[in-house]
């Protein structure tokens, strides 16, 4: 049994961490950190945990927390962890950060897109980008995990096999994504009020969304070259879920008989099978079946599929996940399982909820 602490436990991602770790047989949560609710019972903030969690919320004293736990989850705003993380903390415990502070390797890119100065760039290089299905081996023995963003996880996993196998022209990639309102966090914000969101769908962060460089960097590693994409997020009136619809031009390939032509559906499906057939949490759907957020809600699954547009020689790639689970807390737990050698699905073997 290991001990865990959560900083930011009363945000949506933090509360989801509490829910998932409650059902984890190898972990005990001993620190529910929350600046807003210090000394209040966690179950008074989230009544779904009534008679399940009796602990009170504590502060965000990271040095003290590092003395008491084996792993710290930081579900905090950008810039927080970078401002407090020290070598002494990392010598004592592992840290899984759900913010963007250590996701992007280029400091200038981080500071440009997030508009803040990075206060501990010395830890960026050692941080492992925690997209489990791609970087599992890199996490062996690491101290600091940069948990990927929600849009990013969906966007990368949806396109990764075709990018990695060189079957699409990566510089034609367009990502059109929709998210439920929980992706904006629990703070009171005018654009997220019920009357603003209900019966509405809108694009936001057009050409400026902060997940853009993260998607470009990670798919660039897969492609072996720098890439630029168009990424447009949309807000839809639902609590949870992300749906990414991605478009790219297919690249001609040489067939065994020497013919140069566009790849077939069988070839693209073989690429997805190559990377995902043994992955517990990525489900390649049957031909012609489009991913839907309702079939992954409350779970750590990502559903992906594709359809070839024969007329334009483009491929439409689709992915769906729960932005709070696989897009945040579930992925963090999956990363923790890898770090400590637990069964990767421990605490995450959840059947999607419906309705």
Residue 134 lies in a domain: no
- 265 — alpha (psi -120 to 50), left (phi > 0) or beta? alpha
Q: Assess whether 162 and 311 both reside in one domain.
A: yes
Q: Please write the tens of the pLDDT for every residue from 291-315.
A: 999 999 999 999 999 999 999 999 9
At 355, list the tokens. Answer: 């309705």
Whether residue 173 is found in the same domain as residue 45 = no
Per DSSP, the three-state class of 271 is helix
User: How much is the pLDDT for 114?
Assistant: 97
- For residue 330, tell me if it sits in a domain: no
pLDDT tens per residue across span 214-229 = 999 999 999 999 999 9
Q: Concatenated DSSP letters for 269-303?
A: HHHHHHHHTT-SSEEEPPTTPPP-GGGTTTSS-EE
- Based on the domain organization, do 167 and 292 belong to the same domain? yes
Average pLDDT, the chain: 97
Phi, psi of 129 (to 5 degrees): -70, 115
pLDDT at 189: 81
Q: Are 2 and 71 in contact (CB under 8 A)?
A: yes
Could you report the per-residue pLDDT of 43-95, keeping only the tens digit for each? 999 999 999 999 999 999 999 999 999 999 999 999 999 999 999 999 999 99
Closest to 60 measured CA to CA, from 37, 41, 87, 79: 37
Q: Do both 12 and 114 map to the same domain? A: yes
Give the C-alpha separation, 176 to 242, whole Å. Answer: 11
Structure token pair of residue 150: 């929600």
Do both 203 and 312 map to the same domain?
yes
CA distance 85 to 64: 12
Task: Report whether 152 contacts 211 (CB < 8 A).
Answer: yes
Task: Please report whether residue 266 resides in a domain.
Answer: yes
Same domain, 269 and 315: yes
Using one digit for the tens of pLDDT, what is the confidence trace for 110-153?
Answer: 999 999 999 999 999 999 999 999 999 999 899 999 999 999 99
Regarding whether 260 and 167 lie in a shared domain, the answer is yes
Residues 16 and 65 in one domain: yes
Q: Are 277 and 187 within one domain?
A: yes
* Residue 292 belongs to a domain: yes
Tens digit of each residue's pLDDT (9 = 90 or more) over 179-209:
999 988 887 788 888 888 999 999 999 999 9
Q: What is the CATH number of the domain that holds 317?
A: 3.30.360.10
DSSP string, 49-94: GTTT--PBPB---HHHHHHH-SEEEE---TTHHHHH--HHHHHH-E
Provide the 3-class DSSP secondary structure of residue 252.
coil
Residue-range definition of the domain harbouring residue 162:
151-322
Task: Say if 102 falls within a structural domain.
Answer: yes
**Residue 59, Cβ neighbours under 10 Å: how many?**
14
The answer to whether 290 is a known catalytic residue is no
Whether 329 is in a domain gets the answer: no
191 and 247 Cβ atoms separated by less than 8 Å: no
Residue 233 half-sphere exposure, CB side, CA atoms within 13 Å? 22
Domain count, the chain: 2
> Is 146 inside any structural domain?
no
Of 226, 8, 208, 207, give the one whose Cα is nearest residue 105.
Answer: 226
Q: Quick one: tokens of 256?
A: 């065994």
Q: What is the pLDDT of residue 115?
A: 97
Helix 150-164 and helix 265-276, axial crossing angle in degrees, nearest 10: 120
Give the Cα separation of 119 and 136 in Å (integer). Answer: 27
CB 150 within 8 A of CB 130: no
The catalytic residue among 150, 154, 195, 290 is 150
Regarding whether 223 and 106 lie in a shared domain, the answer is no
What pLDDT shows up at residue 193? 86
Quickly list DSSP for 145-213.
EEPPPHHHHHHHHHHHHHHHTT-B-GGG-EEEEEE-GGGG-SS--GGGSHHHHTT--EE-STTT-TTHH
Average pLDDT over residues 349-353: 96
């Amino acid at each position: 049994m290991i001990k865990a602490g959560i900083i930011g436990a009363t945000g949506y991602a933090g509360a989801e961490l509490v829910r998932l770790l409650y059902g984890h047989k190898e972990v005990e949560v001993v620190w529910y950190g929350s600046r807003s609710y210090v000394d209040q019972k966690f179950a008074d903030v989230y009544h779904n945990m009534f008679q399940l969690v009796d602990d009170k919320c504590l502060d965000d004293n990271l040095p003290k927390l590092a003395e008491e736990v084996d792993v710290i989850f930081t579900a905090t705003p950008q810039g927080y962890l970078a401002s407090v993380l020290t070598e002494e903390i990392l010598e004592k415990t592992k840290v899984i950060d759900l913010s963007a502070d250590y996701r992007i390797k280029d400091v200038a890119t981080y500071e440009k897109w997030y508009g803040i100065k990075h206060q501990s760039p010395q830890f960026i290089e050692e941080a492992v980008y925690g997209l489990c299905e791609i970087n599992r081996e890199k996490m062996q023995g690491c101290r600091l995990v940069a948990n990927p963003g929600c849009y990013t996880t969906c966007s990368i996993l949806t396109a990764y096999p075709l990018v990695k196998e060189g079957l699409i022209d990566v510089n034609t990639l367009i990502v059109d994504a929709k998210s439920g309102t929980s992706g904006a966090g629990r703070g009171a914000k005018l654009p997220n009020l019920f009357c603003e969101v209900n019966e509405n769908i809108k694009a936001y962060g057009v050409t400026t969304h902060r997940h853009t460089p993260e998607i470009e960097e990670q798919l660039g590693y897969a492609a072996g070259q720098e890439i630029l994409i168009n990424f447009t997020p949309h807000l839809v009136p639902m609590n949870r879920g992300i749906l990414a619809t991605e478009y790219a031009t297919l690249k001609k390939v040489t067939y065994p008989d020497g013919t140069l032509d566009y790849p077939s559906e069988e070839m693209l499906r073989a690429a997805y099978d190559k990377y995902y057939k043994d992955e517990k949490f990525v489900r390649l759907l049957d031909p012609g079946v489009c991913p839907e957020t309702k079939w992954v809600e409350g779970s750590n699954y990502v559903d992906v599929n594709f359809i070839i547009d024969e007329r334009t020689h483009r491929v439409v790639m689709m992915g769906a996940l729960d932005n709070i689970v696989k897009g945040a807390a579930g992925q963090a737990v999956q990363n923790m399982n890898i770090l400590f050698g637990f069964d990767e699905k421990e605490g995450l073997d959840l059947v999607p909820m419906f309705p």
